Amino acid sequence: MIIALVVLLVISSLGLIATVLLQSGRSAGLSGAIAGAGESFFGKKKGMDELFGKLSSVFAILFLLSSLGLSLLT
């Protein structure tokens, strides 16, 4: 059981790192803050960024649950 949780923890951590690194970066500076607010209203997000956002949240939940389960078992 512990080995399965460690394997799940490693897979979820690598998946989380990969999905966060594959997402596109935000614009820097004051103009980026203004453009970021406009993009959230008008939905200028690309399809792959949306997919990576959902995948990163799934991997984060898996990482949280597997690390919590591993800490309870050991």
What pTM does this model have?
0.72
Domain locations in the chain? 2-73
> 23-67 pLDDT, tens per residue?
877 654 455 555 555 555 555 556 788 888 899 999 999 999 999
70: number of Cβ within 10 Å = 16
Report d(CA 18, CA 59) in Å as an integer.
Answer: 10
